[in-house]
Amino acid sequence: MAKRDYYDVLGVGKGASADEIKKGYRKKAKEFHPDRNADNPDAESKFKEANEAYEVLKDANKKAAYDQYGHAAFEGGMSGGGAGRGHPGGDFSSAFSDVFDDLFGDFMGGGRGGGRQRAARGSDLRYNLRVTLEEAYSGLQKTIQVPTSVSCGSCDGSGAEGGAEPTTCPTCSGMGKVRAQQGFFTVERTCPSCSGLGQIIKNPCKTCGGVGRTEKDRSLAVNIPAGVETGTRIRLAGEGEAGLRGGPTGDLYIFIDVAKHKIFEREGTNLFCRVPVSMTAAALGGDIEVPTIDGGRSRVKIPAGSQSGRQMRLRSKGMPALRGAGQGDMFIELAVETPVNLTSRQKELLKEFDDLSEDNSPESSSFFKSVKGFWDSMKS
């Protein structure tokens, strides 16, 4: 079977520039790479065909020979610049390595030298802070102790004794990565000598061991704004872990957890307070005093005949909104309490009251009337 024209294989014209040829090969390599075409039996042969074409056209001497003699330039001993008989492309992996970074840079950490990182940014830190509901209401400034890494004072964060400058890694020549040939493919790995930094320290700092930072607990004053709730996150820029070898510092994130309260229950900016009242107070009505989250008191009028579960609203007595957009309400929920440990006299009075209460319990009367109707209908 006659070989296809190399320019046609790469999808470029005969007057294509070196950049256009490389671009055409990159496109074909992506399209027909065997790892991306497991279900296409023709992909491997087309991939090799593209490699062969690019190996010739990327070389100025081979390209000139091919433009003049075509495929015959590489037959009968005309090697076109060193390729063996019948193998104009020589080692296909050399062609593929030219665009290796373009094809797989995203997976390998970027293009050539993409792994080089002379000064790595420090990690972000998380600190869980529990506050009371009262503190969440008023806001506060709190001092916390944060265990973190700080820049080494002995070497000023450079990692080298006396603050000397690191030197270029001889293994990777400062690229941060090394390449190894494995059969058909060129594999790129992080440099084992410098761990991808591209630099090495000949005389590491004795205090930090060459990393440029040390462990230390720090005291930080944190402003907690009024209105925070569980899950609120506060970011302190530059208060995280120190960078590696003088790199930028990470951030510190404070996550708020508001403790449960013995009296109030919170829902957003609203507060709920369950207040027990005596049976007589609920029946006769009256005034009661209830606490508010700011430490004050509010008088609430109970209407006569109030039942358990009845709610009354105290406007603007709830929690402040986190960013100053108003304030929630407080809801009082009545819980009518049945008296216990009655004396004989109290029992007599209650029984007398019950005998006189024929029309004082409309809800009970309505319920039992419905029950009687239900039973009568079942009998019939």
Long-range contacts of 10-18 (CB under 8 A, 24+ apart): 10/50, 10/53, 10/54, 10/57, 14/67, 16/57, 18/58
Are 313 and 331 in contact, with CB atoms under 8 Å apart? Answer: yes
Per the prediction, the chain carries an average pLDDT of: 81
| Res. 176: pLDDT tops 50 | yes
Average of per-residue pLDDT across 85-114: 47
| Class of domain 264-337 (CATH, top level) | mainly beta
Determine what percent of the chain is predicted with pLDDT higher than 70.
84
Average of per-residue pLDDT across 53-74: 84
Annotated binding-site residue? 273: no
pLDDT class of 284 with cuts at 50, 70, 90: very high
Annotated binding-site residue? 155: yes
pLDDT tens string 110-120: 444 444 345 67
Q: What is the DSSP letter of 277?
A: E
Confidence at residue 113, expressed as pLDDT on a 0 to 100 scale: 41
Determine what percent of the chain is predicted with pLDDT higher than 90.
33
| Res. 241: pLDDT tops 60 | yes
pLDDT class of 75 with cuts at 50, 70, 90: low
| Res. 126: pLDDT tops 70 | yes
Tokens in use for 170? Answer: 């001889």
Tokens in use for 230? Answer: 């569980």
CATH superfamily of domain region 125-258: Heat shock protein DnaJ, cysteine-rich domain (2.10.230.10)
For tokens 């496109």, name the residue.
27
Confidence at residue 201, expressed as pLDDT on a 0 to 100 scale: 78
pLDDT class of 99 with cuts at 50, 70, 90: low
Question: Which is nearest to 327 in space by CA: 314, 338, 336, 310?
Answer: 314
Q: What CATH architecture applies to the domain 6-98?
A: Orthogonal Bundle (1.10)
Confidence at residue 122, expressed as pLDDT on a 0 to 100 scale: 81
Rg (Cα) of the chain, in Å, rounded? 41
Task: Please tell me whether residue 162 adopts helix, strand or coil conformation.
Answer: helix
Annotated binding-site residue? 194: yes
| Res. 87: pLDDT tops 70 | no
Highest mean pLDDT among 28-42, 63-77, 78-92, 228-242: 228-242
Highest mean pLDDT among 2-6, 96-100, 106-110: 2-6
Confidence at residue 327, expressed as pLDDT on a 0 to 100 scale: 92
Average of per-residue pLDDT across 288-313: 93
pTM as predicted? 0.55
Confidence at residue 191, expressed as pLDDT on a 0 to 100 scale: 86
Specify the range with the lowest mean pLDDT, choosing from 102-116, 270-284, 354-368.
102-116
Confidence at residue 86, expressed as pLDDT on a 0 to 100 scale: 44
More confident residue, 223 or 181: 223
Confidence at residue 82, expressed as pLDDT on a 0 to 100 scale: 42
Are 147 and 220 in contact, with CB atoms under 8 Å apart? Answer: no
More confident residue, 163 or 81: 163
Pairing of the two strands 252-258 and 233-236: antiparallel
Highest mean pLDDT among 67-76, 196-205, 242-251, 321-330: 321-330
Average of per-residue pLDDT across 315-333: 91
Confidence at residue 253, expressed as pLDDT on a 0 to 100 scale: 94
Distance CA 82, CA 89 (A): 10
